[in-house]
Structure 1
């Protein structure tokens, strides 16, 4: 068994109990000495019998050059419709997309060689020829149209569904040309396709239970094995259309919940790259940090009281000390956030002010709501993955304590990843649910429509807004989403400002840096889109 492997359940229970009593324990390893008794050698005058060992011809097996990446948690599945950080960390050596990002973040061709807009609602993509899926199936317009229609079908409820307008469809034009049509103008469509993993239709259709325990794509590495609870391994695909992109033969993804363990694995050479480290684990080793589009935040159920009252939502946001979180929990690897997107995203609004830390104002809002009959003492459940890192857990405990201090009744519930995801994506919101969810949002699409569709629009995968609550907001976005250029920037920025002032479905906390640690001799430059491509890693 791997010397760094720990029980997940024991791990998060230990973390929670430690944090809740606010004490630091020093664990000392101790062991009893072992006494070894030996008999003195027996002297003999006889000559020893010496025999030559037989010579056996053996072949030394070739050593596999393997890149080992340790991440924070096991992927729940290998669904091509996932767009999470875990998916970006683990999928993209195997799945490919029509478009990609270069090192600067600019959109570049990948499985599509070019694209153009043929009318207000249709984009035409010209596909790369000579590409083959790992299962031998042909890569062509028919296959690409099928998988895009599968990913964007609302009945399939994929994580990336909200990236495009509902009703987006694809159709083949000829063997290597497809048209993607949206129900209304959507200039950001090419950028949205960065998240659409092109999987083999045959493999998806064969996965009748939707478990997605394998992945069949077109990338330079094909699926080899997934040992549940231990590792996911991909190996070189010899027929890759791009040729031999690396001397790395296999990529192994493994996972440890504790940042300190991931850090130690990189320092000892057990892993080549440790991902998403806590700031506390940056004091030694080869550490690289990069500003990324990720923003930790909380999102709130909107339909049921007391969270249906905007004064309560504002009070929660006012009770959060963002600067203290950035300085103390993130150790300077974060800055307070005014919104879920950063300055590099179309629609960022520089005029949205930082929500101040103002417990007195928060208390006043809650007292005002209580006087109007709002049931402010009702229990509100804060949901968090049990695999969350220490920084996230401490942050959520601080937010919970601050909200309770100003007069609310928040309680923390930790669940394993699959159960947490099922609760977080349960729509419509049950009548008896009062929930707050921690989230971490990254807008790799670099367009605010991605954020707005997912978190604020009615029907979004992470949105509990309805037309009654946000009618004007919806109308503003419907206009903004059709625009392009500077008009799009201005209109989307106004939508983001309206949300911050009049909807308050989320409380942004900080913009973070992503921290990696490399083992000795490894060369790797982190990307803003989280992908760890074997072709961009050099092993000693």
Structure 2
């Protein structure tokens, strides 16, 4: 996915402490984290981007409410309570006694400003399109301790949406995105050495529980083996996105990272405009083989775009079993009706999307060729892959099967369906009027009815549209030094909360 998929950029590093920034010494007071890439920005309104959120969210800045990634419940943060006070209006009571890292007190006026800046401005924040679409919000600070937010139409999950809006002081620039943010979080930015490292200091004025480590330092290495070596050599306490080959080590831990891989089949061009061909591809995929042989067993075969724990996920939607005979029969049937099944399909995948991505693309190419389709693989850089992923989609490129990785960090299928299943969704190539109507109807529901409606339309996609051949619900692999204790969860890949990291018993800090 665009939001939650990490954008991997090469730093050309060959050894742990080569170019790209020194992590510093193991002093027991500094938490050293090695990422896959330098964050593209630290702008809080871009914190729904994985590369930004992993540093910013809940560390430097905070939202009004916070979703528990395990239970899915919303917990109070900068807002203490919230309720729907009119069909289109929600009212939030603001936490008192909170101070920004610049010394200014936090009030409802700052919350109103932050929402307006992120959602209603011309800054083109990522959170605006992904979380709120084209809808503006009417925001009012009733007084210092109370905020009202009014939507264009009733929105039962507005508090969840607002969990993606990071709160900043009302003195923050509204004409341009900021390089070094100010927030209410437990850490403040000390320095950002471009191309080298980001350093944070513990904010002594933090309203909540103080983090265990006085400092945090982020560096980045594009090579997963280098990141793993930094843990082994005591050069970092946390390393993200390790290769499955490291999974047997005592210094690694696997966790569901809410990412789902899939092939998006562009239904605008033959032969992929024929549902029989799309169904054939879905049947041709050997999900178990890919998971076991290429993903190191660190994934689960998938039959839908959202993983367990997300509203709308259905245990009743099972991953299809490979059936080559059935797939061949569907292709032959389409060919007999004049569908040009010999036309070359380009399978586009992004370099560095996940460990084993190129081998996975080649396996999919082989499996599609097995059933009589003509497929070539194109491994692309991030910029090129985005051209295929987002509207406006490229023209005159022939039929495309795009390997995507979608992460639903919000925990609700509305964020998936609006992007990936609507006929004109930003990351959808086609759809149906029926499915569009069902998506709109599901979005107006809440509770059990919402769950059932989204589960039903995900099943409908598999029956009547088949825009996606789902592959796997992915797991992440985190490297952890024996000197610390941390339990990753499904949010870890998007927001690594430093306050949850503790020294191991007996370690100095």
User: If the TM-score is normalised by the length of the shorter chain, which range does it land in?
Assistant: 0.7 to 0.9
1:272 Cα deviation from its structure 2 partner: 0.3
Task: State the Cα deviation string for residues 316-350 of structure 1 (Å, max 9, x = none).
Answer: 22221111122222333222112122332222223
State which drifts further: 214-223 or 106-115. 214-223
Change (3 A) 1:372 1:122: farther
Change (3 A) 1:496 1:459: same
Take 1:385 and 1:76, find their aligned partners in 2: how far apart are those partners?
A: 18
1:62 Cα deviation from its structure 2 partner: 13
2:77 maps to 1:110: yes
Change (3 A) 1:77 1:351: same
1:482 Cα deviation from its structure 2 partner: 1.1
1:271 Cα deviation from its structure 2 partner: 1.0
1:169 Cα deviation from its structure 2 partner: 0.6
Match of 1:120 in 2: 87
2:74 maps to 1:72: no
Match of 1:515 in 2: 477
1:282 Cα deviation from its structure 2 partner: 1.9
1:171 Cα deviation from its structure 2 partner: 0.7
1:246 Cα deviation from its structure 2 partner: 1.9
Take 2:86 and 2:467, find their aligned partners in 1: how far apart are those partners?
A: 35
Q: Supply the RMSD in Å over aligned alpha carbons.
A: 3.1
Change (3 A) 1:460 1:95: farther
Take 2:9 and 2:428, find their aligned partners in 1: how far apart are those partners?
A: 33
Match of 1:426 in 2: 390
Match of 1:502 in 2: 464
Change (3 A) 1:181 1:403: farther
Match of 1:275 in 2: 240
TM-score, normalised relative to structure 2:
0.84
Q: Please give the secondary structure, in 2, of the residue aligned with 1:144.
A: helix
Match of 1:167 in 2: 135
Task: State the Cα deviation string for residues 118-143 of structure 1 (Å, max 9, x = none).
Answer: 12222212222333443455533333
Match of 1:17 in 2: none
Take 1:312 and 1:216, find their aligned partners in 2: how far apart are those partners?
A: 52
Change (3 A) 1:112 1:277: same
- 1:445-456 matches, within 5 Å, as 445-456=410-421
Aligned pair count? 479
Take 1:312 and 1:159, find their aligned partners in 2: how far apart are those partners?
A: 36
Match of 1:27 in 2: none
Match of 1:8 in 2: 10
2:274 maps to 1:309: yes
Q: Please give the secondary structure, in 1, of the residue aligned with 2:253.
A: strand
Take 1:192 and 1:538, find their aligned partners in 2: how far apart are those partners?
A: 30
Change (3 A) 1:356 1:270: same
Match of 1:291 in 2: 256
Change (3 A) 1:196 1:347: same
1:108 Cα deviation from its structure 2 partner: 0.3
Match of 1:489 in 2: 451
2:145 maps to 1:179: no
- Equivalent pair of 1:71/1:256 in contact (CA under 8 Å): yes
- Equivalent pair of 1:164/1:189 in contact (CA under 8 Å): no
1:202 Cα deviation from its structure 2 partner: 4.1
2:63 maps to 1:97: yes
Q: Please give the secondary structure, in 1, of the residue aligned with 2:38.
A: coil
State which drifts further: 302-311 or 312-321. 302-311
- 1:206-285 matches, within 5 Å, as 207=176, 210=177, 213-242=179-208, 245-285=210-250
Take 1:301 and 1:252, find their aligned partners in 2: how far apart are those partners?
A: 42
Match of 1:147 in 2: 114
- 1:12-51 matches, within 5 Å, as none
Take 1:188 and 1:284, find their aligned partners in 2: how far apart are those partners?
A: 41
Take 1:316 and 1:358, find their aligned partners in 2: how far apart are those partners?
A: 10
1:200 Cα deviation from its structure 2 partner: 4.2
Of 438, 441, 444 in structure 2, the residue corresponding to residue 479 of structure 1 is: 441
State which drifts further: 453-462 or 420-429. 420-429
Match of 1:189 in 2: 158
Take 2:214 and 2:377, find their aligned partners in 1: how far apart are those partners?
A: 44
Match of 1:470 in 2: 432
- Equivalent pair of 1:185/1:481 in contact (CA under 8 Å): no
- Equivalent pair of 1:273/1:519 in contact (CA under 8 Å): yes
- Equivalent pair of 1:145/1:170 in contact (CA under 8 Å): no
Match of 1:205 in 2: 174
Gaps in structure 2 of 5+ consecutive residues:
1-7, 15-24
1:425 Cα deviation from its structure 2 partner: 5.1
Take 1:188 and 1:181, find their aligned partners in 2: how far apart are those partners?
A: 12
Take 2:388 and 2:197, find their aligned partners in 1: how far apart are those partners?
A: 26
- Equivalent pair of 1:165/1:182 in contact (CA under 8 Å): no
Q: Please give the secondary structure, in 1, of the residue aligned with 2:236.
A: coil
- 1:291-370 matches, within 5 Å, as 291-370=256-335
Structure ID, larger Rg = 1
Q: Please give the secondary structure, in 2, of the residue aligned with 1:265.
A: helix
